[in-house]
Amino acid sequence: MPTHPFSRRGFLRSGAALAGAAAVAPLSALPVSAAGDLTVGFIYVGPKDDFGYNQAHAEGAAAVKAMAGVTVVEEENVAETTDVQKSMESMINFDGATLLFPTSFGYFDPHILEVAPKYPDLRFEHCGGLWSADKHPSNVGSYFGYIGMGQYLNGIAAGHATKTKKIGFVAAKPIPQVLLNINSFLLGARAVDPSITCQVIFTGEWSMAVREAEATNALADGGADVITCHVDGPKVVMETAASRGCFLCGYHADQSPLAPDMYLTGAEWNWAQVYTDMVTTTMNGGSIDNFVRGGLAEGFIKMSPLGPAVSDAARAQFEATKAEIMKGGFAVIKGPLKDNAGNVIATEGQAFAETDVALESMGYLVEGVIGSTS
C-alpha cells in the first residue's frame, strides 16, 4: 500500500513512468499522442449500442473519432457513483484526456463537481444543462437540446397514423424532461385531431427491459396503436410495440432498423454535430461556452427520415411544422391549456417558447394525457 500522499505531481510521475514502461512493453497499446493532439474521453452510463441515449452519444463520439488529430477514449456501463469519478481520473491519468464528456445526467452532481476542481486546466462537458455561473466551476460546461420539439413532430406523425385515436407513451420517471416529452407528443397529435388521447405508463427506472415490455403490452392492450417512449434504451419498447402491430415513433437515436415498416419517424439527438463543433473549438484554441442549448435549428436534434407508413397529408403537416420550428421561438405549451387535473397551465395568448426556462421545472401532464405524475 502506498504511504505517500495523493498529489497531481505523483500522478504525472507515475503516468510518465507508466507511459515509459508501455513504450517498451510490446503488449501494451497505449496511444502515443503527438504534440498538439487532443485526447477526448466519453463516458456512458449504459451500453453504447443500446439504440438509445448512450448510442446517441456514442454516435457523436464516433464522429469525433473520425476527426484528424483527435484520439477518442470511451467507457460504457459506468455507474453514477465513485466509479465515474475514477473513470474520469483514469482517462486523465492514463490516457492524457484533456476534454471529457461524461454524458449521463446523474454524473454532474456530485461527481463532475468533485473531480473538475482538481484539474482546473482540463475541460468537463456535461449533457443535461445544469451549469450555473455562481455555483459551479468555470472549467465545467453543460449542454442540452430542445428535444421536446422532436416529440411534438413525432406527435404529428402519430396523430395521422392512429386509427383508435389512442396513442401511448412508455416513460421512465415523472421528471420535467420526460413530462415535457409526453406533453409535446400528445399536443403534436392533437394538432392533427383534438380528440386524441395519450396513455402514459411510468416504469420508474431508466433501464428496465421487463417493465418496459409490460408497459408496452399494456398500452397495446388498452387500444393504443402508436407508441413512443422516453427510457434509456428504446429497443424493447420498439420491438414489443411492432410485434403488437403498433406504429412507432422513435426517441434518442434512429430505431427504424428494428421495424422499418412500422417506424413513422423519431426524435433523435444530433450529438455528432455538437461534439465535432466543441472539439474543433478546443483544437483551435477557443473556449466552449459554459452553457449551450440548441434545438432543431441549431442542429442539436434531428428527425429520423419519415417511414413508408407516413401518409402524404401527414408528411405535409410534418414538414410545415418543422419549418415553423426551424424559424425559432416555437411554443408547444401555449394557452388556453389545462393540465389533466383541470388546473390552468396557460391562459389564452400565453405561450412558453422552447427556450423558456419555466418548462424546465414542468410538473404536470396536459389535458388529454391519461396518467399521473405520482
Partner 1 sequence: MTDHGISGPATGAPLRAMLARVARRAEAVVLPLAALMAGFAVFSLFLLMQGKSPAEFFSLVYKAGFGTAFSWQNTLSRTAPLLFAALCVALPARLGLVVIGGEGAIVLGGLAAGALGVSLAGAPAAVALPLMALAACVVGGLWIGSVGALRYLRGVNETIASLLLAYIAIALMNHLVEGPLRDPASLNKPSTAPLADALRVGDMPGWDVHWGLLAGIAGCVLAWALIDRTTWGFAARIAGGNVRAAQVQGLPVGRLILGFTALGGAFAGLAGFFEVAAVHGSANASLASGYGYTGILIAFLARHNPLAIIPVAILLAGFEASSGLVQRRMDLPDATTLVLQGFVFVAILISETLYGRLRIFAPERWSTR
Residues that bind partner 1 (CB under 8 A): 1-2, 4-6, 10-11, 14-15, 17-18, 25, 27-30, 47, 73-83, 85-87, 89-91, 93-95, 105-106, 109-110, 128, 173-177, 204-205, 360-361, 374
Q: Tell me whether residue 203 or residue 304 sits nearer to partner 1 (CB atom).
A: 203
Neighbours of 135 (CB within 10 A): 9
Return the axis-axis angle of helices 8-24 and 82-95, rounded to nearest 10°.
60
Instruction: State in angstroms the smallest separation of the CB of 322 from partner 1.
Output: 26
Q: Tell me whether residue 150 or residue 307 sits nearer to partner 1 (CB atom).
A: 150
| C-alpha cell recorded at residue 200 | 402514459
- Give the helix/strand (H/E) hosting 294: strand 291-294
Residue 108 DSSP class: I
- The rounded distance, in Å, linking the Cα atoms of 293 and 316 is 28
Instruction: State in angstroms the smallest separation of the CB of 43 from partner 1.
Output: 9
Q: Tell me whether residue 175 or residue 346 sits nearer to partner 1 (CB atom).
A: 175
Q: Tell me whether residue 135 or residue 163 sits nearer to partner 1 (CB atom).
A: 135
Longest distance between any two alpha carbons in the chain, whole Å: 72
- Give the helix/strand (H/E) hosting 82: helix 82-95
Instruction: State in angstroms the smallest separation of the CB of 41 from partner 1.
Output: 9
Instruction: State in angstroms the smallest separation of the CB of 314 from partner 1.
Output: 32
For residue 44, the SS3 value is: coil
| C-alpha cell recorded at residue 10 | 505523483
- The rounded distance, in Å, linking the Cα atoms of 261 and 248 is 9
Q: Tell me whether residue 74 or residue 277 sits nearer to partner 1 (CB atom).
A: 74
Instruction: State in angstroms the smallest separation of the CB of 109 from partner 1.
Output: 8
Instruction: State in angstroms the smallest separation of the CB of 82 from partner 1.
Output: 5
Q: Tell me whether residue 47 or residue 299 sits nearer to partner 1 (CB atom).
A: 47
- The rounded distance, in Å, linking the Cα atoms of 72 and 40 is 5
